[in-house]
Amino acid sequence: MGKVVCFGELLLRLGAPGRETLLQTPALEVHVGGAEANVAVSLARFGHAARMVGVVADNPLGEAAVGELRRHGVDTTAVQRQPGRMGLYFLTTGAVHRPSQVLYDRAGSAFAQVGGGRHDWPTLLAGADWLHVSGVTPALGAEAARGTLEAMRAARAAGIRVSFDGNYRPQLWQAWDGDAPTLLRGLMAEADVMFASHRDIEVVLGHVFEGDTAQERFAAGAQAAFAAFPNLQRMAATVRVQRSVDHHALSAVSLRRGERLQGTPEYEIPGIVDRIGTGDAFAAGVLHGAMSGRTDADALRFGLAAGCLKHSLPGDFSTLGVADVEGFLAQAGFDVRR
**Catalytic positions, written as ranges:** 280
Nearest to 89 by CA among 175, 188, 201, 197: 175
How many angstroms separate the CA atoms of 95 and 97, rounded? 6
* DSSP string over 287-322: HHHHHTT--HHHHHHHHHHHHHHHTTSSSS-----H
How many angstroms separate the CA atoms of 299 and 306, rounded? 10
At residue 217, φ and ψ (nearest 5 deg) are: -65, -40
How many angstroms separate the CA atoms of 198 and 101, rounded? 23
Inter-CA distances, 301 with 12, 139, 305, Å: 30, 30, 6
How many angstroms separate the CA atoms of 315 and 200, rounded? 25
Q: Where would I find the H helices in 114-197?
A: 121-124, 142-157, 170-175, 180-188
| Letter string b/e over residues 237-248, b meaning 16 or more CB atoms within 10 A of that residue's CB | bbbbeeeebbeb
Cβ count near 55 (within 10 Å): 26
**At a CB cut-off of 8 Å and minimum separation 6, what does 246 contact?**
95, 96, 270, 271, 272
DSSP helix/strand/coil, 123: helix
In the chain, the DSSP E strands lie at 3-7, 11-15, 29-33, 49-57, 75-82, 87-92, 101-105, 130-134, 161-165, 193-195, 234-244, 247-256, 262-263, 267-270
How many angstroms separate the CA atoms of 138 and 158, rounded? 22
Residue type for position 250: L
